[in-house]
Amino acid sequence: MNFAQLPAVDAVSVPADGLVLDVREADEWAAGHVEGALHVPMSDFVARFGEVTEAVADGRRAYVMCRVGGRSAQVTQYLVQQGIDAVNVDGGMLAWEGAGRPMVTDNGTEPFVL
């Protein structure tokens, strides 16, 4: 699959108030995620697509993220084909963590990238 035309940004370029769409699985999300992110695992994506369209209904850009960028690239490509303003976050959560961007957990433990 060719992602050459896929819109992408690096982790440091995601605005603090940007809509982050995290497509990782539940165990990865639980380990650590971006505060305020919308969590729709890639495995549930088609079934929960309405949640995504609702989140971007006002024309917001979706910053799609997974662990390293492969799954999010596929989801970003799908969203763009649906006419949604979406960009892949290069390097995913590993790049986010590496850039020192904040992460949280739902249970208050120290966040990490699984």
Determine the Cα–Cα distance for residues 49 and 75; give it in Å rounded to an integer.
11
Instruction: Please confirm, yes or no, whether 97 is among the known catalytic residues.
Output: no
Residue 50 identity (one-letter amino acid): G
Q: Write down the catalytic residue from 20, 40, 66, 113.
A: 66
- Single-letter residue type at 104: V
B/e letters for 33-56, b = 16+ CB within 10 Å, e = fewer, are bbeebbbbbbeebeeeeeebeeeb
User: Residue 3's Cα: distance from chain center in Å?
Assistant: 16
Active site residues: 66
